[in-house]
Amino acid sequence: MPNFHAKEFVEPSYPSDYGKTNFEFVAQSTRGEKLVMSHLEDNDLLLKINKSKKGYLIKGDKITRPSQVAILQQVLKDYRDLTKTNTTNSNIDSKKEKTLKVSPFLKTMEYFANSFETSKDILVEVGFGSGRHLLHQAKKNPDKIVIGLEIHKPSIEQVLKQCELQNIENILVVDYDARTFLEFLNSNSVKQIFVHFPVPWDKKPHRRVISTAFINESRRVLMQKGTLELRTDSDNYFEYSFGEFIKQAKVELHVNKNQDLEISSKYEDRWKRQEKDIYDITMINKEISEDIPRIGTLKFDETIEFKKVKEKFQEVTLRGDDFFAHIEEIFKINKDEGLVRVSFGASQRNEHSYLYIKKDSVTYLPDNVLATKDNEKAHKLIKEHIWNM
Ligand SMILES: C[S@@+](CC[C@H](N)C(=O)[O-])C[C@H]1O[C@@H](n2cnc3c(N)ncnc32)[C@H](O)[C@@H]1O
């Protein structure tokens, strides 16, 4: 990640501008940690100043990091030049681009949380890897939307490239954890969910995609006769998953062994060469599920005095049944304004953010906290805690 080191460093006055970047304020924690609020075009991000015996390290704060590394690089260059710092070590002039390229097929979670609407049937593939099956489904079903979920960036790049080369227009790719994605789809809108050769996670079972929560959410989003299709080469994962499916109070399951599909993935080819067994479990959804309203944006409707929060502040972890909120640290901007660093959500996926407390408002920074069910519950905990101080 972009950063620079310096032996000497003199802070500017705030606010200051350099190039197209505005450095609005500095916020300081009781432990001496410093954050600089910076704005470049539509991007709001915090720089972090770390002081050690050897000198200074200036980098982007990981919570407010923009999606494009190039933006952070530019802001750091502007800060270095504004402060006329002689760097001892720096990577902010390198041209390496590590983030995903912009593509019409690549969608953010915010898009699915706030804007995604379609009257077409939806297919979802979890962990598409090389994308052979995803591309096959998209070509076979031009009248449907095929959503591919993957967390491995090179696989995503590869599929985005193939979409362009093969003129495929009905794929939407999301760089997001499949375990919580389905929450953002409407009830009864999905025809098929494919989970092909998921990572078995024998040593970290909590990371498995198939779970009671995932099956329940699949049932909600599947239309009547819609299917959730698991394909695995792992005896363990097959047995574990079968146990999860059969826990359902009422369910139709079909189990197959060593059945060929229309298309074989790279993984599958390898297992077939090794003559491993391959298992399929298909769950057929019978029910029509209730629509659930979208949660919308997580907001604070009331204001609170920063002075009061600062006086009473203590680091604390608040716990609900299966979610938590960690109130981590407080940063003062001036007597009326400050930041509170928080992390919260479900144990499997944490959200990190700051509460930006001003005289007339409290907002999240960055303000794109996803309104998942667990985040909403944790958001209520945070509100209760802060407003009861
Ligand atoms: C063993 S590979 C199988 C790839 C492909 N389905 C196939 O059959 O060749 C599992 C894939 O799932 C992805 N993956 C693992 N956990 C995931 C998650 N929670 N959400 C989305 N993708 C995930 C991994 O990055 C990896 O590409």
* pLDDT for position 322: 81
Q: Which of 112, 133, 152, 199 to mutate to test the pocket of ligand 1 (most atoms within 8 A of CB)?
A: 199
Residue 96's pLDDT is what?
Answer: 61
Question: What's the pLDDT at 7?
Answer: 95
With a 6 A CB cut-off, is 194 part of the ligand 1 pocket? no
Task: Report the C-alpha gap between 213 and 274 in whole angstroms.
Answer: 33
The pLDDT profile of the chain, 389 residues, written as one tens digit per residue, is 899 999 999 999 999 999 999 999 999 998 899 999 999 998 999 999 999 888 999 999 999 888 778 899 999 999 999 999 999 999 998 776 556 677 889 998 888 988 899 999 999 999 999 999 999 999 999 999 999 999 998 999 999 999 999 999 999 999 988 988 999 999 999 999 999 999 999 999 989 999 999 999 999 999 999 999 999 999 999 999 999 999 999 999 999 999 999 999 888 999 889 999 999 999 999 999 999 887 778 899 999 999 999 999 999 999 988 889 999 999 999 999 999 999 998 866 678 999 999 999 999 998 878 888 888 999 999 999 999 98
C-alpha of residue 125 to centroid of ligand 1, in Å: 9
CA of 24 to the centre of ligand 1 (A): 41
Q: How far is CA 244 from CA 183, 254, 323, 380, in A?
A: 19, 14, 22, 31
The Cα–Cα gap between 324 and 232 comes to 33
What's the confidence (pLDDT) of residue 99? 61
Could you tell me if 233 and 267 are in contact, meaning their C-beta atoms sit under 8 angstroms apart?
yes
Helix (H, G, I), strand (E, B) or coil at 159: helix
Q: By alpha-carbon position, which residue is closest to atom 10 of ligand 1?
A: 198
Determine the distance separating the centroid of ligand 1 and the alpha carbon of 211, expressed in angstroms. Answer: 15
| Helix pair angle (132-140, 153-165), 10° resolution | 30
Q: Is the CB of 229 under 6 A from ligand 1?
A: no
pLDDT value at residue 66 = 81
Residue of the CA atom closest to atom 25 of ligand 1:
152
Ligand 1 atom 12: the closest Cα is on which residue? 127
